[in-house]
Structure formats: structure tokens, C-alpha cells
Amino acid sequence: MKGSRSKYMIQAGFLILLFCIPLVTNNYEQYIINLIFVNFLVCLGLAIILGFSGQFAFASAGFLGVGAYTAGLFMVRLGISYWPALLLSGFVTLVIAVLLATIGLRLRRYYLAITTISFTLCMRFFYVNAGKLTLGPSGFNIPHATLFGFNFNTDHRVYYIVLVVVLLFSVLSWNILRSKIGRAFMAIRDDEEAAAAASIDVKKYKLLAFAICGVLGGIAGGLYTQVLGRITPDEFGMLPILLHFVIVVLGGLGSFFGLMIATIIVTIIPELIRAFVEFQELLYGAIIVLIILVAPGGIYGLMLKYSPIRWREKLHGSVEKYS
């Protein structure tokens, strides 16, 4: 009883700290924090499909773009307010994810990876060339979200939208991964044939993994419009594909907690080395390689390796191979 009470007190304290962050940050720092939350949500979708269900699908940047353009175009073209546009970004991306999954179910590993990467690049081509609909390569400005007359027109105000939405979908994802669905994902990841022999509907759960990835990516795209205030096709090309993949691998495939830490690290590093303009890309790559060399199992692997056994069981429910 005391343990549960302490747990809830810690969680409540953590939430209070999160809500107080805008009180101690400037505009630039707040923008980076908002970006961290958005990156975490879209990478959570990639982690579910890649790390938890073992599918070599790299459509996260594509889903992010679809969500951003859906929300942005509904607001700019049709004058719809931000909140229904945000929901539509998740719904439209869900539909596209299911359609993509019907093709992806017939492909495995590298063929699936190539197909999903091609999907992202094709969507970027569409954003650039369908100017009458998407407003072309220069992109467009996004109206600010409003709620009961309150205008979310600063990074500090946008933070509360991002925080609430990301927390909501993170809790939902966490509960899914701890449920029968999550166990089915991991069974398919570990041995697809054995999972099928155990009466797990492999196709259904693969489709579900794509759908969850699509919804998370789409909602993250809707949030991204408010964080940036303007979207262009360049935001949704090869670079975010690589960025999301690095975050998931660095965090440790199949790790929720490691993903949080990796998102913070990978998002902040470019800002810390921004002063070294000539060597920025070299330093960024070297730092990522160094981290991977030190922690080949990802950040989560280090957590399992050096934490007490009782903590390992709380992190993953059992002692993994890193012990």
C-alpha cells in the first residue's frame, strides 16, 4: 500500500515538474523541448512497428508528413479549427497506414524497408509538385490553435498542447504494449512462424502495428504544425527517416524508456554543437557512433546491464540478455 502511494506521489511530482517547465525556459529552449516531445511521439510509432513487432518499415517520416499536411491544409484551405484538424490528421494517416500495410504484408525485411522509404519520398514529391493543393515547395504558414478565445501563439503556450497530447498517446501506447497485443507483437518479432503456430493472427497484428504507427505519426504531424508554425516538403524527406531510425536504435529496440532518453540526446546534440558550423555534421555523426560503440544494445541495454536485478524486472518485466 505504501509502495503504491509512493509511486503515485512520484508520478504526480513528475507531472507537476513537466507542467512547470515553461516557467524556467526562454523561447528557444522551449521550442527545442516542444520538438523533443514531437520526435518522441513519432519515434514511438516507429519503435512499435520496428522494435516491438519486428517489421522493417520506415514510414514514420511519411506518416509525420501526411499528418502535418492534413492538419495544415484543412486549416488553411477549409478554415477548420486546429482541434478537429488534429483529429483528422490521425484519421487520414490511419487510413493510409492501413492501405500501406495491405501491400507491406506481402513483403518482408529489406523489400518492406525499401517500399516504406519509397512511400515517404513519393509523398515528399507530391508535396512539392501538387502545388494547387499543397501550395508547392515553399510551404505555407499555419494558423495558431485557439481554445475558448485563448490563443496558443507562443512556444510556451504550444508546449501545453504538445505535452497533454503526447502524454495521452504515450499512456495509451504503454498500456497497449503491456497488454495481449504487445505480447503478440513481441512473439511475432521473436519468431513469426512460432507465433502463427501458437494461434496468433500474424497478419492482423502486423496490420495493427502499422495502424498504431500511422496514428502516432499523424498526430505528431498535427502537433508539428504548431511547433514549427510553418511546414515545407523539406521537413519530410530522407533526413527525418534517418533521424527517427537513429533514435529508435540508440534507445534500444523494443524499449520505451530508452526511447525517451535517446530522443532527448539526438534532438539536443545538434543544438549543442551548432557553434562548430564547419564540423557540425562530422561531430554529430562521431558522437552518435561513439554512443553506439559504448552501448551496442542501446541505452536500454546499458540500463539493464548496470541496474540492480529488481530494477531490471520493473523496466521490462524480466531480465534480458544484457544481464
Segments making up each domain of the chain, as ranges: 28-236, 237-323
Q: Buried b / exposed e across 70-102, counting CB within 10 Å, b at 16+?
A: bbbbbbbeeebebeebbebbbbbbbebbeebbe
Question: Which of 98-107, 193-202, 282-291, 296-305 bottoms out in mean pLDDT, i.e. has the lowest?
Answer: 296-305
How far is it between the farthest Cα atoms of the chain?
61
Q: Alpha carbon of 264 to those of 46, 295, 299: distances in Å?
A: 16, 16, 12
Span 8-17, mean pLDDT? Answer: 81
Contact (Cβ atoms closer than 8 angstroms) between residue 163 and residue 19: yes
pLDDT at residue number 317: 43
pLDDT at residue number 179: 87
pLDDT at residue number 97: 92
Residue with the bigger pLDDT between 33 and 136: it is 33
pLDDT of 128 over the 70 cut: yes
pLDDT at residue number 322: 33
Helix (H) or strand (E) holding 179: none
pLDDT of 215 over the 90 cut: yes
pLDDT at residue number 323: 33
Span 187-201, mean pLDDT? Answer: 83
pLDDT of 40 over the 70 cut: yes
For the stretch 81-102, pLDDT in tens is 999 999 999 999 999 999 988 8
Residue with the bigger pLDDT between 4 and 65: it is 65
Compute the distance between CA of residue 271 and CA of residue 265 in angstroms, rounded to an integer: 10
| Alpha-carbon torsion, ordered 149, 153, 159, 164, to 10 deg | 30
Q: Taking CA 177 as the corner, what is the angle to CA 311 and CA 92, rounded to the nearest 5 degrees?
A: 140
Q: Which amino acid is at 310?
A: R
- Whether the pTM exceeds 0.85: the reply is yes
Span 30-46, mean pLDDT? Answer: 94
**Nearest CA-CA partner of 222 in 28, 63, 116:** 63
